[in-house]
Amino acid sequence: MSVQYLGQTVDHNTEFETVIGLEVHVQLATDSKIFSSAKSRLTLGESVSEESVNANTTEVCAGHPGTLPALNEKAVDYAIRAGLATNCKINLKSVFSRKHYFYADLPKGYQISQFDLPLCEHGFLDIELGEQGEVTKKIGITRIHMEEDAGKSVHEHGFSLVNLNRAGTPLVEVVSEPDMRSPEEAGAYLRKLYAIVTCLGICDGNLQEGNFRCDANVSVRPKGVTKFGTRAEIKNVNSFRFVEKAIEYEAERQRQVILSGDHLVQETRLYDSQKNQTYTMRAKEEAEDYRYFPDPDLLPLVLESSQVESIRASLPELPDQMRDRFMKEYALTRYDAGLITSNQSIARFFEESVSIADGRSLAKTVANLLIGEAGRLLNEAAVSIVESKFRPEHFSDLARLILDKTISVTAAKQVVIILWQEGGEVSLIVDREGLRQVNDLSALEPIIQKIIDDNPKQVEEFRAGKDKVIGFFVGQAMKATQGKANPAMLQELVIQKLKG
């Protein structure tokens, strides 16, 4: 069956293109809220309890009549930093507006935001794609505007409660152009933006607490068509992987709706990560639905160009700059350096490990350990490396032991797992687990000779020119030594023995 969509005849053989634009809410790591003196967040180590609910709240946060907002200067500084780091134009005059809508957790009945005159506009980010990050694509940024967060509704059986601790928390919303064409591109963009805001120190970056969350606008169209299709907005996804999966699901859902002959509806949807599907939340609002107008309680924000240039001069080394330096100083590949510098905690940890080791030659081995087994464990547990039992000296010690052939890479992975679980000292773990490599020729020679004597068929294959059989003998020897033999030394000895 064929149907009409965007002026084109489409059927099940039609190749569709996904069009993606992202709106990312970045919670600014200021001590106080954007328009009041209330604390903007729980301090590090402070747990959420019944006693702390609504504790970070003032009359301004609760929208009491007669209260007036007062703009947080530090939040403005942080927002400018975000704009400069994403190649935006900083507008020296911007205006705060009221965005009207009703939710129980928005006490005033409107949100203070920016609309037609935002602080930052017309920026871009370069993202890396491909298995080794070998392809670069520019993603436009339409605007970055400042706004306040709403509170949080807690739904119980038969009733709902409201926690206003988050109401008034300072945000910047980073709105991209619809330049992304795949879930992978969206994921790469989010990871790059996350690396920048955490590197700047303007966002704590705790995804589980919603410090960095995303609304994804998704539509599809037949390939070659320039007109945009009917889009759906997927709200408040706070995991890179879930954003990718939500976009993938939604694009296929829209394709199936089109091919069935039904009409797509512009709407806001939510993503259920357990079922891996999106579902309708509400009809999509447009700007006119919010009745924006300038907030009469807040003067226009007027900056001096000297203020902006002073902030520009104080910016730290950004992830792309750090990646290039790591490639030059530590001889890392672009891909490895990009992975390390995409997380500031990992980047600092890496440099400290290498400085303890005091040797550029160890850098690649340290990077491999952090990207590999350690990275897997951190990702699975969704914790920062600073919250783990890992210490920089662990990885400098492991790298040194690998390079001097005291332990194998496989043994090092075992040590990483033990360090993750228990902490401790690398040398003590290596000795306790018996992980030191056997480098003693006199100990290895009789083992290899016995394997050769026991496998005459494979010996004949080698002498017939089948060099791949060497791997068989090395594998048998590694098994006989419980993986403790030096593989390079084993291979050399196997070849010597086979050649007589």
Residue 140 shares a structural domain with residue 188: yes
Domain-located, residue 214: yes
List the CATH number of the domain containing 469: 1.10.10.410
Residue 42 shares a structural domain with residue 162: yes
Domain-located, residue 203: yes
Taking every pair of C-alpha atoms in the chain, what is the biggest distance, in angstroms?
96
- Token digits for 270? 């939510």
Residue 380 shares a structural domain with residue 233: no
pLDDT band for position 45 (cuts 50, 70, 90): very low
Q: pTM of the predicted model, to two decimals?
A: 0.85
Beta bridge partners of 144: 120, 174
What letter represents residue 132's amino acid?
Q
Q: pLDDT tens across 427-440, in order?
A: 999 999 888 876 65
Q: Which of 271, 270, 283, 193 is nearest to 230 (CA)?
A: 283
Q: Give the whole-number percent of the chain exceeding pLDDT 70.
A: 94
Number of domains forming the structure of the chain: 3
Helix (H, G, I), strand (E, B) or coil at 239: coil
Domain-located, residue 147: yes
- Lowest model confidence (mean pLDDT) among 46-50, 85-89, 142-146: 46-50
Q: Structural domain of residue 384, as residue ranges?
A: 319-424
Q: So what's the pLDDT on residue 435?
A: 86
pLDDT tops 90 at residue 449: no
From 424, 453, 480, give the residue that closes a domain: 424
pLDDT tops 60 at residue 47: no
In order of 30, 193, 346, 431, 483, the CA distances from 425 in angstroms are 38, 36, 20, 10, 22
Residue 453 shares a structural domain with residue 395: no
Terminal Cα distance for the chain, rounded? 72
Domain-located, residue 416: yes
Domain-located, residue 451: yes
Return the sign of the alpha-carbon dihedral for residues 150, 155, 159, 164: negative
Q: Which of 62, 24, 491, 490 is nearest to 217 (CA)?
A: 24
From 308, 339, 358, give the residue that closes a domain: 308
Residue 291 shares a structural domain with residue 382: no
In order of 198, 345, 391, the CA distances from 30 in angstroms are 13, 19, 28
pLDDT band for position 441 (cuts 50, 70, 90): low
Phi, psi of 403 (to 5 degrees): -70, -30
pLDDT tops 90 at residue 493: no
Domain-located, residue 170: yes
Q: pLDDT tens across 185-195, in order?
A: 999 999 999 99
Residue 159 shares a structural domain with residue 271: yes
